């Protein structure tokens, strides 16, 4: 009789184990928990790279506009640098704008360089990002008739 009880308990345990193995109610939740960190890493990585790309594009536009002012309109270096800073006023970063008129050195080139620290480089430590972003535009100065 004891043997039949032990075999009956073993049978009940085996049936419970088989039923537990067949159920998949929590499997989706576990799989989602495993995949979610990687999805978030990709999602925020795309946002970070998009922000960096947009900032770099705006810096090149401001540098190009300042260099054109110096090359075509013969604007002063300080005026062109201030106009570039004003064009970048909507961004929360601190920009270093350097405008150079190289006509005194024998070349007719105008150089505008804008640099700024990448604010997102320290946040995303798992995604490699450039710590300092810079944009440099060189234009040939127009000859005045």
Can you give the C-alpha Rg of the chain in angstroms?
32
37 is a domain residue: no
The whole-number average pLDDT for the span 99-115 is 80
Q: Cβ contacts of residue 132 below 8 Å, gap of 6+?
A: 115, 116, 117, 118
Decide if 5 is inside a domain: no
3 state SS of 120: coil
Residue 81 lies in a domain: yes
CATH code (residue 126):
3.30.1300
Stated pTM of the model: 0.68
Please indicate, yes or no, if residue 59 is contained in any of the structural domains.
yes
Q: Can you list the positions of beta strands (E) in 22-144? A: 96-101, 109-117, 132-140
Domain range spanning residue 61? 46-145
Are the C-beta atoms of residues 85 and 97 closer than 8 Å to each other?
Answer: yes
How many independent structural domains does the chain possess?
1
Q: Quick check: is 137 in a domain?
A: yes
Residues 49-97 have pLDDT tens digits of 888 888 889 999 999 999 988 888 878 888 988 889 899 888 888 888 8
């Amino acid at each position: 009789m004891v043997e039949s009880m032990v075999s009956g308990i073993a049978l009940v345990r085996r049936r419970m184990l088989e039923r537990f193995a067949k159920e998949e109610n929590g499997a989706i939740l576990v799989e989602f928990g495993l995949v979610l960190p990687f999805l978030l890493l990709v999602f925020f990585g795309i946002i970070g790279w998009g922000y960096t790309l947009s900032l770099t594009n705006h810096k090149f536009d401001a540098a190009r506009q300042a260099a054109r002012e110096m090359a075509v309109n013969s604007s002063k270096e300080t005026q062109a640098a201030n106009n570039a800073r004003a064009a970048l006023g909507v961004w929360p970063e601190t920009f270093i704008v350097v405008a150079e008129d190289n006509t005194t050195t024998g070349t007719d080139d105008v150089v505008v360089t804008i640099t700024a620290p990448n604010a997102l480089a320290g946040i995303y430590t798992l995604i490699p990002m450039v710590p300092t972003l810079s944009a440099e535009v060189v234009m040939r100065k127009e000859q005045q008739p």
